[in-house]
Amino acid sequence: MRFTALLLLSWSLAAPAQESLSERELLGMRLYNQSCRVCHTKPQLTSQQYAPSLSRLSMNGNDEALRKQIAEGSPKMPGFRYHFKPAEIDALVAYLKTLPPPAD
């Protein structure tokens, strides 16, 4: 019980309040949770995280670079241009812009 409460508290501190997000940002959050979270967040305290944490500082805060990375991918990440529509990629970028940088 104590562990669950701590986990929920740490997640809530890292994520913006849903009430403060726009419709576009909420769509981006939903898409992130469905397709990105599995690699870009640590599933358990003892598990390895596969990809870097994402935030408003990812890709130096460059929206166009974020769009390109999401769409085209990289050698270590699949591209999502056939999975997401351009408006959905824009929503993902908008959501990422609401995330604070990870604590070191």
pLDDT digit string, tens, across residues 1-39 = 554 444 444 444 456 666 799 999 999 999 999 999 999
Domain ranges of the chain: 22-96
Q: Please tell me the distance from the alpha carbon of residue 11 to that of residue 47, in angstroms, as a whole number.
A: 16
Select from 1.10.600.10, 3.40.640.10, 1.10.760.10, 3.40.50.2000 the CATH code of 22-96: 1.10.760.10
For the chain, what percent of residues have pLDDT higher than 90?
69
- Nearest-10 crossing angle of helices 86-96, 63-72: 130
pLDDT of residue 10: 46
Residue 48 token pair: 């390895």
Task: Name the more confident of 16 and 58.
Answer: 58
